[in-house]
């Protein structure tokens, strides 16, 4: 909030001039500006004036500053364009660089930085407006693996594009991964009455159903194994068998992460015997396995604001969900497009 003006003292002649100006002015907006000054002379606070005139407290402050700067003439001018920005163009660019290089969780923190650096005081709402004008928005930060190697990721994408460009009609690329679904609800976003959010029941979350999946981004063919057991090389072998059963001809490429069971000798031997080609993504690179996006989609569609009272019901409905993803074909076509995001090679830790 902008700094408030303590009081305004007028002589009797100035008071009479103010009252006369109010009585002779037809424009209601201008009359409200004049009344702001009159109420302040009477000793009212900015908040009380704002309530009386149904305007914001910052608006009250702005009108009073105009009056102190240029009297009634400036206050009543309709072509007044306001003051120049508090920060110069160079200073605003410096603020942009500061916010790009360091993390500020609140607008108030930026207000403090600007005051210390440039001696300029902003209200929190004023700073929020400035940040929007500078091209910033308030959103959740993203977590990335700290040990990923961007060069390895680039090499993987080149390899994938080469494989993709050489595919025959019956060839396929499947993205393979596991998802651990807890028997519990997740809170989503929704419109609700102020102070009365929608209440979503929860479970203990102690039981879970593991999902091992393979998804082809070319055709949206998919295979899912749901189990309460741990995902291990036995489950991977079972999945390889199902994929081989569906594709007796053609080259089938499987993109996997580096979980130990994916490298097991038995898995590699069966893949070779079944003419399945295993393509391992670089370490610490979940961004390169497109099925990860499907798991995120699953959380949104299956878990958000959904409650299943028993684990049996939960598991059955999870099976139904993965059993017919065709109803989401339009959404998944966009979500699972073969566009890979490479994690930046330069990351600077925030400076506090």
Number of domains in the chain: 3
126 and 248, same domain (yes or no): no
Q: Is residue 1 part of a domain?
A: no
pLDDT > 80? residue 352: no
Q: Is residue 195 part of a domain?
A: no
Asked if 255 and 289 touch (Cβ cutoff 8 Å), the reply is yes
Q: What are phi and psi of 189, to 5 degrees?
A: -100, 140
166 and 242, same domain (yes or no): yes
- Residue 6: both structure tokens together: 């303590």
Q: Is residue 193 part of a domain?
A: no
3-class state of residue 341 by DSSP: coil
126 and 229, same domain (yes or no): no
Place of tokens 């060839």: 171
pLDDT > 50? residue 350: no
| Predicted TM-score (pTM) of this structure | 0.68
93 and 62, same domain (yes or no): no
174 and 282, same domain (yes or no): yes
109 and 65, same domain (yes or no): no
Q: Is residue 241 part of a domain?
A: yes
Q: Is residue 279 part of a domain?
A: yes
pLDDT > 50? residue 51: yes
Pairwise CA distance, residues 211 & 237, whole Å: 14
Residue in 201, 220, 221, 223 with CA at minimum distance from that of residue 211: 223
Pairwise CA distance, residues 155 & 76, whole Å: 67
What is the DSSP pairing of strand 222-227 with strand 208-216? Answer: antiparallel
Q: Is 149 exposed, middle or buried (0-12, 13-18, 19+ CB in 10 A)?
A: middle
Asked if 153 and 343 touch (Cβ cutoff 8 Å), the reply is yes
Q: Is residue 239 part of a domain?
A: yes
104 and 211, same domain (yes or no): no
251 and 278, same domain (yes or no): yes
Q: Is residue 62 part of a domain?
A: yes
Name the packing angle between helices 12-24 and 28-41 (round to 10°).
160
pLDDT tens, position by position, 223-268: 999 999 999 999 999 999 999 999 999 999 999 999 999 999 999 9
pLDDT at residue 336, as a whole number: 94
156 and 107, same domain (yes or no): no
Domain ranges, residue 122: 89-133
Domain termination site, one of 40, 55, 76: 76
Q: Is residue 351 part of a domain?
A: no
């Amino acid at each position: 909030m902008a700094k408030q003006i303590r009081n305004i003292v007028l002589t009797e002649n100035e008071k009479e001039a103010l009252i006369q100006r109010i009585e002779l002015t037809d424009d209601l907006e201008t009359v409200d500006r004049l009344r702001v000054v009159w109420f302040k002379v009477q000793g009212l606070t900015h908040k009380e004036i704002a309530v009386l005139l149904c305007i914001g407290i910052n608006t009250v402050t702005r009108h009073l500053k105009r009056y102190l700067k240029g009297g009634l003439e400036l206050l009543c001018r309709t072509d007044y364009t306001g003051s120049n920005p508090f920060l110069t163009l160079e200073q605003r660019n410096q603020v942009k660089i500061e916010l790009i290089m360091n993390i500020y969780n609140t607008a108030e923190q930026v207000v403090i930085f600007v005051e210390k650096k440039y001696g300029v005081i902003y209200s929190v709402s004023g700073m929020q407006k400035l940040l929007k004008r500078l091209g910033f928005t308030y959103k959740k930060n993203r977590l990335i693996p700290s040990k990923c190697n961007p060069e390895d990721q680039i090499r993987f994408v080149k390899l994938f594009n080469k494989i993709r460009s050489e595919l025959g009609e019956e060839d396929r690329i499947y993205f393979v991964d596991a998802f651990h679904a807890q028997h519990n609800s997740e809170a989503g976003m929704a419109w609700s009455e102020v102070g009365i959010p929608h209440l979503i029941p929860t479970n203990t979350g102690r039981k879970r159903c593991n999902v091992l999946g393979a998804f082809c981004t070319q055709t949206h063919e998919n295979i899912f194994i749901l189990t309460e057991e741990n995902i291990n090389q036995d489950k991977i072998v079972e999945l390889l068998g199902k994929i081989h059963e569906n594709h007796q001809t053609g080259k089938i490429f499987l993109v996997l992460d580096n979980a130990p069971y994916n490298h097991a000798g038995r898995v590699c031997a069966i893949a070779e015997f079944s003419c399945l080609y295993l393509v391992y993504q670089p370490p610490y690179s979940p961004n390169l396995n497109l099925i990860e996006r499907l798991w995120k989609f699953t959380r949104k569609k299956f878990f958000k604001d959904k409650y299943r009272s028993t684990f049996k019901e939960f598991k059955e409905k999870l099976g139904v969900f993965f059993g017919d993803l065709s109803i989401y074909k339009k959404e998944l076509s966009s979500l699972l497009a073969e566009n890979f995001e490479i994690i930046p090679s330069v990351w600077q830790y925030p400076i506090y």
